[in-house]
Amino acid sequence: MKIIGLTGGIGSGKSTVAQLFVEEGFPLIDADVIAREVVAAGQPALQELADVFGVDILEPSGELNRQLLAQRAFADREATDKLNAITHPRIQQRTQELFDAYREKDVEAVIYDMPLLVDNGLDRAMDWVIVVDVAAEERIRRLVEYRGLEEEDAQRRVKAQIPDGLRLAAADSVIDNNAAIDNLKPQVDQLISDAPWLA
């Protein structure tokens, strides 16, 4: 089974690209979905996060207040590292379980949608790496316009990730998403047609 790593900076449109692959029949392992699962109410990681970032990140229902956690966890590199130290080992364990399940089903290739693929050095474990590339200024604009973030928060989140150049250096293929969304599907279709990960 080939593992195709799909990554891009926050606000790059990576999830949209992932969905285009799914529409063409590719199985998807979404690190963001797994990340939400490992901090769901009752999960051990949630209490660890509360211990580090304050119990007020927990809603009365026991659910995580994601916005408050994000404000604190992306305040500086040290805080971000603490967040990652709590969540990443659990995310990796769950991800491995899903990879194993697809291998048992004899799937030819799976898309692994992972925002921090290169940041965490996981790109080297992939059979192929696709980077969705968008200029940082455009990503900030999209985060403000489409996700409703304050501009300062959007800038902080973009800055917390590795520079675009390092991400691009790890790419086997690049999907340019600086233009209109209509430009994405032809690029994905071409990649699927070429299937370089099978070469």
Q: Any alpha helices (H) in the chain, and if so which ranges?
A: 14-23, 31-38, 44-53, 66-73, 77-104, 136-147, 151-160, 164-169, 184-194
* 3-class secondary-structure state, position 8: strand
Our CA angle for 145, 179, 21, nearest 5°, is 95
13 is in an annotated binding site: yes
Which residue has tokens 């898309």? 111
Conformational region of residue 112, where left means phi above 0, alpha means psi within -120 to 50, and beta covers everything else:
beta
5 is in an annotated binding site: no
54 is in an annotated binding site: no
Q: Are 166 and 173 in contact (CB under 8 A)?
A: no
12 is in an annotated binding site: yes
Conformational region of residue 175, where left means phi above 0, alpha means psi within -120 to 50, and beta covers everything else:
beta
CA–CA separation, 125 and 22 (whole Å):
22
25 is in an annotated binding site: no
CA–CA separation, 16 and 132 (whole Å):
10
**Where is the binding site for ATP, in residues?**
11-16
Binding site: which residues? 11-16
